[in-house]
Amino acid sequence: MYTICVQAHYDSAHFLRNYHGKCERLHGHRYVVEAAVQVAELDESGIAFDFVDLKRELRALADRLDHELINELPPFTDWEPSAENQARYFFEELEARLPAPIAAGLAYTRVWETPTQWALYSREPVQLPLPAD
């Protein structure tokens, strides 16, 4: 099994509506989002999926949130804009945008809110620690 992984970043503001603590106040993060794809077979070029194509899709999604108040953007008008829900958002949007065999291999999306805390979304529980850790 091969795993490939790309990252993008976005600088955005958010606040948690149903939380009591400092994250209920408007504040910003330099978010990093990572997407990992796993495939069993490489193509004739010896690659799993083109990094360029995967980065383009991830960046397009990150750009939607960049320099925005995430609370004001769907689906975060309904979902709490936590790192967990942002990871789910990237996962579901990527799943819809990637070619079918690659979408099926989407292993996880992970959102770092700070360099020392992240949230990850996947269909199934992932083995920890992750290979990149």
Interface ranges with Zn ion (CB under 5 A): 23
- Which residue number is nearest to Zn ion in terms of Cβ? 23
Shortest spacing between CB 71 and Zn ion, in angstroms: 11
Task: Quote the CA–CA distance of 73 and 65 in Å, as a whole number.
Answer: 8
Task: Quote the CA–CA distance of 55 and 25 in Å, as a whole number.
Answer: 32
Nearer CB in complex with Zn ion: 107/111: 111
Nearer CB in complex with Zn ion: 48/88: 88
Shortest spacing between CB 121 and Zn ion, in angstroms: 17
Q: In the chain, what is the greatest distance between 2 CA atoms, to the nearest angstrom? A: 53
Task: Quote the CA–CA distance of 41 and 131 in Å, as a whole number.
Answer: 19
What are the φ/ψ torsions at residue 55 (nearest 5 degrees)? -65, -40
Shortest spacing between CB 14 and Zn ion, in angstroms: 6
Nearer CB in complex with Zn ion: 23/42: 23
